[in-house]
Amino acid sequence: MNALAVIDYGAGNLRSVVRALTHVGANLLVTSDPAEVLAAPAVVLPGVGATLDTMQSLEHLGLVAAIGAAIRAGKPFLGICVGMQVLCEQSEEFGPHACLGVLGGSVRRLPGGQKVPQIGWNQLSLTNHAGDHPLFAGIPNHSNFYFVHSYYCDLTDGRNVAGTTEYGTTFASALLRGNLAAVQFHPEKSGRWGLQLLTNFIAWAGDDSLRTAAPTSNNVYSGVQHD
């Protein structure tokens, strides 16, 4: 299959992610089929809501093993929001429960002192690990991205952290490990820089079949927020 697999497990932001990827010229397939996920050259796991609900849906659809196998096979993989959180070993949301276990660490609630959930724009501070990685090409450091979340990834290995954000604590808002990328914010709602990140992901995947057309200008897109 020569299309980017966007995993459909009932996530509320699926349509927004699909519209944004289509806007930047992606050739994609929305799928709940583990075989299609494994056959795809690259994979996107969107998400909003709770890690517990997400894991239950992924397990019900037989997608847990497929996601792990796709990552181990070296396919470029992008997790968005809860799609980032479930990569951790476990989550404390609605009581301790296991997640995909791709990354060491736990999903923890944002601390008090700030309004939770965090909803709105916040800065992404790129780390040295981001370096010249193509996922962040053309995106200035400290650019604003759109967040909607109450929990964050507390990673055991800080070397995978590509970007951080401040909200009651400093948390990992972007990570990179080999073929794996994930962001806590919503690129599909983050205007110019969010669309640039999605464009970069397709280019990073390195498969010309993943693009159907040249992307439309990332400055004009009615499906995203603008700062």
Look at residue 216 in the predicted model and tell me its pLDDT. 55
Q: CB–CB of 74/39 below 8 Å? A: no
Asked about 81 being catalytic, the answer comes back as yes
Asked about 93 being catalytic, the answer comes back as no
Look at residue 42 in the predicted model and tell me its pLDDT. 98
Does 2 have pLDDT greater than 90?
no
22 DSSP β-pair partners: none
For 164-183, what is each residue's pLDDT tens digit? 999 999 999 999 999 999 99
DSSP string, the chain: --SEEEE-SS-TTHHHHHHHHHHTTB-EEEE--HHHHHHSSSEEE---S-HHHHHHHHHHTTHHHHHHHHHHTT--EEEETHHHHTTEEEE-TTS-EE---SEEEEEEEPPTTS-SSEEEEEEEEE-TTTTT-GGGTT--TTEEEEEEESEEEEES-GGGEEEEEESSSEEEEEEEETTEEEESS-GGGSHHHHHHHHHHHHHHHT-GGGBSSPPPPTT--TTS---
Q: Which two tokens stand for residue 162?
A: 């590509």
Mean pLDDT over the full length of the chain: 92
Q: How confident is the model at residue 219 (pLDDT cuts 50, 70, 90)?
A: very low
Q: CB–CB of 116/110 below 8 Å? A: yes
Burial of 73 (0-12, 13-18, 19+ CB in 10 A): exposed
Mean pLDDT score, 71-79: 98
Q: Tell me the pTM.
A: 0.92
Look at residue 215 in the predicted model and tell me its pLDDT. 58
Catalytic entry in 23, 36, 81, 226: 81
Catalytic entry in 129, 133, 186, 226: 186
The rounded distance, in Å, linking the Cα atoms of 177 and 74 is: 11
For 128-151, what is each residue's pLDDT tens digit? 999 889 999 999 999 999 999 999
Asked about 186 being catalytic, the answer comes back as yes
For 97-123, what is each residue's pLDDT tens digit? 999 999 999 999 999 888 999 999 999
* Percentage above 90 pLDDT, the chain: 84
Catalytic entry in 92, 133, 188, 226: 188
For 188-211, what is each residue's pLDDT tens digit? 999 999 999 999 999 999 877 777
What fold is seen in the domain 4-210?
A: Rossmann fold (3.40.50)
Q: CB–CB of 143/193 below 8 Å? A: yes
